[in-house]
Structure 1
Amino acid sequence: MLHKEPDLTIRAAKLYPGDGAAALEDQVLDIRDGQITAITQRRGPVDQEVAIAAPGFIDIQINGANDVQFNNKPSADGIAQMAEGARRGGTAHLLPTFITDEGRRYQQAVTAVAEARAAGVAGIAGVHLEGPFLSPNRPGIHPPDCIRPLDATDIAFLSAANCGTCLLTLAPECAPEGAIRQLSEAGHTVFAGHSAASFAEMQKAQREGLSGATHLWNAMSPLTSREPGVVGAVLASEMLYAGIIADGVHVDFANVGIAARLKPDHLCLVTDAMLTLAGKTDRFDIHGVEIRRDGNRLSDAGGTLAGAHLAMDEAIRNMVQQVGLSLPKALQMASGNPARAIRRPDLAQIQVGLPASLSFLSHDLQALGSYADRHLHMNAIHTPEAQHVPA
């Protein structure tokens, strides 16, 4: 059998292989046909040098980026533009997230993701539908008049959807009997969110296949002395995954730290980013409600939060600098944990024989670029630094 030369070689001053493991020093990755074929310490020229290589960051909740909001442009082109913006923060894979909208308009999002994947848009792991099957008691910024119950037609459409991972956020207490089980058995990932569920209702939903919660602590019933609510159910469970927005706006960093200590293998960093991320826009509308950006805070005139202005590399820096996590554990929450949450464990490690899913950082944890689905993306602003990492 003839030896095939790699398509791409990357030297990393520090390589974090995944799952919280410590860094390996001065490693060279050989990649061919999108797979890692060798990890060595050989000398000599390579195609790209970086300070830090880690398993690709997976953003399972991103509503927009690069001046594109998914709800406003549910198309393959819109998704490609969003992905470009997300990559500037080091994201390798993402679930474009479509929030509550009129009727069955969410179906356009499912179709758009299927088309983007068929067209070869790199890094599109599937779709996240955040609504419209939410609790009217916990709408957040979602338009209340569009929130509605899940029905048989929705279940039939979603069960037949073929767009990679389908993550569905719903209020379990509002879901029809058996719906969570049907969706889970169809291969979809079901999270609780925008929910006023009790602890008992969460436990019942978990038995039916519920596997996580969306933006922990936000828009959900809180943990109180006599009713643990959604927050308590998530923190008490050894199995439920939880997305968390580590921007210091949505959740106090003390609470982020509590979640990180209780759920080191199930907490997932998400950006919940809107079109302002990597864009020029500082104000926009959600169903006629004006949203303005003030620093890293997005809200309406009444102060209701409306997504986030956050990149994945910033979330990782916050976990290290504000929460006090080790870098390997923070990286695991950006890659390995979300990979398993969406049933893609193959993306969780840097290992010979697995798909090359990589994110690159500078020594000060600024995003340098990413590699996914046979596409290398390097941030132009950081390329000079990346090329001068000592061999």
Structure 2
Amino acid sequence: MAKRLFDGVTSVFQTDRAIVLRDGMVTELRAATAGDRRNDQAVHVAVAAPGMIDMQINGAGDAQFNFDPTPATLARIAAGAREGGTAHILPTFITAEGQSYLQALAAVRQAMDDRMPGIAGIHLEGPFLSPARPGIHDPSSIRPLAEDDVIALEREARDFPGPILLTLAPECQEPAQLNRLAAAGIILFAGHSEARPEHLEQMRGATHLWNAMPGLNSRTPGIVSEVLAGDRLFAGLIADGHHVGPHALRISLRAAADRLCLVTDAMLTLAGASQGFDLHGRHITLSDGRLTGEDGTLAGAHIAMDQSVSNVVAIAGIDPLVALRTATVNPARALGREKSLGRIAPGLPASVSLFDRSLNSVGVAIEGQLYLRD
């Protein structure tokens, strides 16, 4: 039972609502009764919302997808993400040598075939990025798409059990190749890129807005201006207070709140004990909530989704309901899964994130399984 419910459909919080789950489905959504309040089997929370979706998470629980792209690693990452209220993740495999991404695709396919809770698809971030904007990615492995890559990705997309999101630099690829990938159903996001508007035709969105791309320019349009001034592109946004400053966060949310998707970009330190790790021969250190290389380059993030939502409210002054939309409804739309995710309604799979009154996660329900925080 929720004191306040955001169902992902209406534009207001509903008060004192009961969500009835059975056999992995939402069977009823109604006003709470006195019997519900006395029922010691019921879970009582301050706020309930559709299960949060993290479209970009590299690791959690001391496990990193690139280090060990296996279903066992995915289980640890999904469990770590649930600690922060995330119901569904796109585990993210970043730039690696050759066609290493095929092993990541195989691991996610196996996890989804086995109905592993929380795995909704995959995000491949690279290796098809711009050498001019590598960020923390391994420059020696960044390269343009080759014909073998397009064929392999088309083949994978034919029967993949969830969305494949691919971050690339479109200006570094052949337009015909992008057309083929989009036609195959692969979701293309521009990232680690210096793309101009003419390069973004086949893009559905942008990865970690403001980061690894040129910022706003009064005369030269680019990815940021196309997201904020346009009405089509979605964009991931890291709200950890380090990747995007307060002013840029406010500008972004006021301009495009209906298309921004909070992402964590979390690494293995999230919900883990590690204080650092090695990546591409560089040591990454966690300090004051920041993950950086020795040269100060940001190396992913150390933040959970519930804290991301809270930061959007506190830093950007955004209404809590709008903040929750950026973690639920918007990513479901970006992934083309708005009929099954991002909503709480009878007849839909049970996917609910549970919060206290300060929007701290207290638990997650996924397909009939309830995970409550200690």
1:362-381 correspondence runs (5 A): 362-380=356-374
Which residue identity does 1:218 align to in structure 2? Answer: N
Q: Distance in 2 between matches of 1:189 and 1:219?
A: 19
1:76 aligns with 2:71: yes
Q: How does 1:93-172 map to 2 (within 5 A)?
A: 93-161=88-156, 162-172=160-170
Is contact 2:113-2:161 (8 Å) kept? no
Counterpart for residue 287 of structure 1: 280
Helix, strand or coil for the counterpart of 2:298?
Answer: coil
Q: CA, structure 1 residues 141+37, in 2 after alignment: closer, same or farther (shift >3 Å)?
A: same
Cα distance, 1:335–1:349 mapped onto 2, change above 3 Å: same
Decide which moves more: 178-187 or 80-89: 178-187
Question: In the alignment, residue 61 of structure 2 is paired with which amino acid?
Answer: N
CA RMSD of aligned residues (A): 1.2
Question: Is 1:48 the equivalent of 2:48?
Answer: no
- Classify the secondary structure of the residue corresponding to 2:34: coil
- Distance across 1 between alignment mates of 2:233 and 2:68: 32
Does 1:355 pair with 2:349? yes
Aligned match for 2:267, one of 269, 274, 277: 274
How many Å separate the matches in 1 of 2:199 and 2:14? Answer: 45
Q: Would you identify which runs of 4 or more consecutive aligned residues in structure 1 move more than 6 Å?
A: none
Q: Once the 2 structures are TM-superposed, how far is the Cα of residue 369 of structure 1 from its aligned partner? A: 1.1
Measure, in 2, the Cα distance between the counterparts of 1:188 and 1:170.
12
Aligned equivalent of 1:34, options 2, 24, 30:
24
How far apart are residue 282 of structure 1 and its match?
A: 0.8
- Cα distance between partner residues in 2 of 1:273 and 1:372: 21
Task: Check 1:19–1:244 CA distance in 2 against 1; reply closer, same or farther (3 A cut).
Answer: farther
Q: Give structure 2 stretches of 5+ with no counterpart.
A: none
Equivalent residue of 1:187, what SS?
coil
1:198 correspondence with 2:191: no
Deviates more, 1:64-73 or 1:28-37: 28-37
Do structure 1's residue 324 and structure 2's residue 322 form an aligned pair?
no
User: 1:177 maps to what in 2?
Assistant: 175
2:359 corresponds to which letter in structure 1?
L
- In the TM superposition, residue 180 of structure 1 has moved relative to its aligned partner by 1.9
Q: Secondary structure at the match of 1:330?
A: helix
Cα distance, 1:163–1:152 mapped onto 2, change above 3 Å: farther
Counterparts in 2 of 1:139 and 1:317: CA distance versus 1, 3 Å? same
Aligned partners of 1:19 and 1:329 also within 8 Å: no
Instruction: Tell me the number of residue pairs that the alignment of Structure 1 and Structure 2 aligns.
Output: 365
Deviation at 1:375? 1.9
C-alpha displacement at 1:176, in angstroms? 1.6
Structure 1, unaligned runs of 5 or more: 1-10, 381-391
Stretch deviating more after TM superposition (343-352 or 63-72)? 343-352
Deviation string for 1:6-48 (max 9, x for gaps)? xxxxx11111111562211111111122221111223321432
The answer to whether the 8 A contact 1:88-1:278 is kept is yes
Pair 1:256-2:246 in alignment = no
Deviation sequence 1:232-287 (CA, Å, 0-9, x none): 12222201000000111001021111111111210000000000000000110111
State the shift of 1:67 in Å.
0.3
Q: Work out which of the residue numbers 56, 62, 75 in structure 1 matches 2:57.
A: 62
What letter corresponds to residue 271 of structure 2 in structure 1? A
Alpha carbons 1:63, 1:272 under 8 Å: kept: yes
Identity %: 48
Write out per-residue CA displacement over residues 85-121 of structure 1, whole angstroms, 9 at most, x where no aligned residue. Answer: 0000000000000000111101111000011111221
Counterpart Cα distance in 2 of 1:110 and 1:163: 10
Indicate conservation of the 8 Å contact 1:283/1:290, yes or no: yes
Are 1:227 and 2:225 an aligned pair?
Answer: no
Q: Deviations over 1:155-211 (max 9, x none)?
A: 111112214110000000011222222112211111000001123323xxx2xx310
Tell me, what secondary structure is at the counterpart of 1:194? coil
User: 1:322-346 CA distances to partner (integer Å, 9 max, x unpaired)?
Assistant: 1101111000000000000011102
- TM-score, structure 1 normalization: 0.91
Letter in 2 for 1:141: I
Give the equivalent residue in structure 1 for 2:291: 298
Residues 52 and 342 of structure 2 are in contact (CA less than 8 Å); yes or no, is this contact kept in structure 1? no
Query: Partners in 1 of 2:264 and 2:103 — Cα distance?
Result: 23
| 8 A Cα contact 1:133 1:148, kept in partner | yes
1:13 aligns with 2:7: no
Letter in 2 for 1:73: D
Partner of 2:184: 186
The answer for the alignment partner of 1:22 in structure 2 is 12
TM-superposed CA distance for 1:153, in Å, is 1.3
**1:337 aligns to 2:330 (yes or no):** yes
